[in-house]
Amino acid sequence: LSDKLSGIFDKLTRRGALSEADVNEALREIRRALLEADVALDVVRSFTDKVRDRAIGAGVIKSVTPGQMVVKIVNDVLIETLGQDAEPIDLVAAPPLAIMMVGLQGAGKTTTTAKIAKRLKERHGKRTLMASLDVKRPAAQEQLAVLGRQVEVDTLPIVPGQTPVQIAKRAMEAARLQGYDVVLLDTAGRTHIDEPLMAEMAEIKTFSKPHEILLVADALTGQDAVNLAQNFDERVGLTGIVLTRMDGDGRGGAALSMRYVTGKPIKLIGVGEKMDALDEFSPTRIANRILGMGDIVALVEKAAQAIDAEQARKAAERMAKGKFDLQDLCDQLAQVEKIGGLGGIMGLLPGVAKMKDQIAASGFDDKMVRRQRAIILSMTPKERRNPDLMKASRKKRIAAGSGVKVEEVNKLLKQHRQMADLMKSFGAGKRGGGMMGKAA
Ligand code: GDP
Ligand code: MG
């Protein structure tokens, strides 16, 4: 009976792959969503190409439509692109550590400077000195002083007539003498990018040697986001981005555009005018906001979880019977990748972490996991179920299909044989009263 059941599961879980037509149709919808979210045109194009490569041929999970499956893949690629983990401001450097805030006029530099100072004080216990290098806009320096009093963080005393570079030097000097941990340099902006602005930023950078250079950009920047981020990154060199006005009704496409072209992390987001309206960046939340398809993603995730549970049960059943073919191995390798590779497993199991060196010495790493999966995926379903079929000609075909040498295929087969033998010896001991077999 259980053989019959697993046959049914087989059919249900391997419901075929996404065709090019499926993918293209779904991507039309996705392209519209990205453009509506104000993602820059070039980025939309190259992003959807990336998704197409990933999606065509990918399996469709039971109980979801091909279109929903593509949405899930888009969401995954989006989160990957936006950066999997939150990247906080890097505070590891000898004090006084300088953080330079750059961006266009009105982007929110001065406000964000004060917000960050408040956060550094409250969450990290850092003594911060803020300095406004904006000598162009009337009362810009006073604006920062007012905010400084509000959040109870010191600002550099104003000396009229100084250049931005002179102010920056004075701020670093004062911080050294008075033992500040961090110096926040709030620079001037212009309504658009021009050469004098870039030259001024580069000069300030030379003299203050900032540990972080954060581009402060309005989330509603839309199509200009790419130019803005690219220019600042090329001329001044960014370490991160702060997106402001994420409390507005923009859909945050600038986040994707900027991250895509510069590769620099979005470190924080501004979510209001108040001094504590500053949040950590969450790729998942932004992906949801850009696509606006969170419920589809949740649906597919739920379906995938159900299938994982089914597969795990099926695998346990098979192992209890001493069966372990190449498809089983492939499923297990996929599972390893899914939970973040070997590093992910080690993180989950403290005992395994101790074996790190041994595992490294055995040559078994994430690259190998991927390669071994690629080899198995180049086999026909029949070959996966019957490793004994493997003759020289088949091995050659598989090696070519997965871009490895034939020795590599042999190595995998040998490794699998050892594992299968091991499983068999477990299975033999349990025959007649296998707990796992009955539990299902
Ligand atoms: P700067 O010219 O780059 O220094 O910009 P400012 O810091 O002076 O900010 C310009 C305006 O944007 C001010 O009225 C701020 O209160 C407002 N602002 C800054 N950040 C945010 C934010 O995250 N959300 C909202 N709603 N307003 C913001
Ligand atoms: Mg300002």
Q: Is 187 annotated as a binding residue?
A: yes
> How remote is the CA of residue 171 from the centroid of ligand 1, in Å?
23
Is the pLDDT at 47 greater than 90? The verdict is yes
Q: Give the integer Cα–Cα distance in Å for 104 and 93.
A: 28
> How remote is the CA of residue 178 from the centroid of ligand 1, in Å?
30
Ligand 1 nearest-atom number relative to CA 186: 4
Give the 3-state secondary structure of residue 242. Answer: strand
- C-beta of residue 292 within 8 angstroms of C-beta of residue 253: no
- C-beta of residue 196 within 8 angstroms of C-beta of residue 220: no
Give mean pLDDT, residues 333-356. 63
Most distant CA pair in the chain: distance in Å? 91
Handedness of CA 247, 253, 258, 263 (dihedral sign): positive
Ligand nearest to the CA of 109: 1
Ligand nearest to the CA of 277: 1
Residues framing ligand 1 (Cβ under 6 A): 103, 105-111, 189, 216, 244-245, 247, 270-273, 277
Q: Is 103 annotated as a binding residue?
A: yes
Q: Give the integer Cα–Cα distance in Å for 152 and 118.
A: 8
Q: For helices 2-13 and 294-320, give the axis angle rounded to 10 degrees.
A: 150
User: Which of 187, 193, 273, 274 should be mutated for ligand 1, with most atoms under 8 A from CB?
Assistant: 273
Give mean pLDDT, residues 218-222. 89
> How remote is the CA of residue 274 from the centroid of ligand 2, in Å?
15
pLDDT digits (tens, 9 = 90+) for 368-413: 888 889 999 999 989 998 888 889 999 999 999 999 999 999 999 9
Interface confidence, given as ipTM, is 0.99
Q: What is the pLDDT of residue 340?
A: 63
Q: What domains are defined for the chain?
A: 1-85+292-307 (1.20.120.140), 97-281 (3.40.50.300), 321-440 (1.10.260.30)
Q: What is the pLDDT of residue 425?
A: 75
Q: What is the pLDDT of residue 14?
A: 42
Is the pLDDT at 433 greater than 50? The verdict is no
Is the pLDDT at 347 greater than 60? The verdict is no
pLDDT digits (tens, 9 = 90+) for 295-325: 788 888 887 777 777 777 777 787 777 788 8
Q: Is 186 annotated as a binding residue?
A: yes
Q: Which residues have CB atoms below 5 A from the ion given as ligand 2? A: 109-110
pLDDT digits (tens, 9 = 90+) for 230-279: 999 999 999 999 999 999 888 889 999 999 999 999 999 999 999 999 99
Shortest-distance Cα residue to atom 25 of ligand 1: 272
Q: Is 357 annotated as a binding residue?
A: no
> How remote is the CA of residue 188 from the centroid of ligand 2, in Å?
6
- Cβ-based neighbour number of residue 191 at 10 Å: 9
Banded pLDDT at 9 (limits 50, 70, 90): very low
Higher pLDDT, 99 or 359: 99
pLDDT digits (tens, 9 = 90+) for 100-138: 999 999 999 999 999 999 999 999 999 999 999 999 888
Is the pLDDT at 161 greater than 90? The verdict is yes
Q: Give the integer Cα–Cα distance in Å for 149 and 144.
A: 9
> How remote is the CA of residue 373 from the centroid of ligand 1, in Å?
50
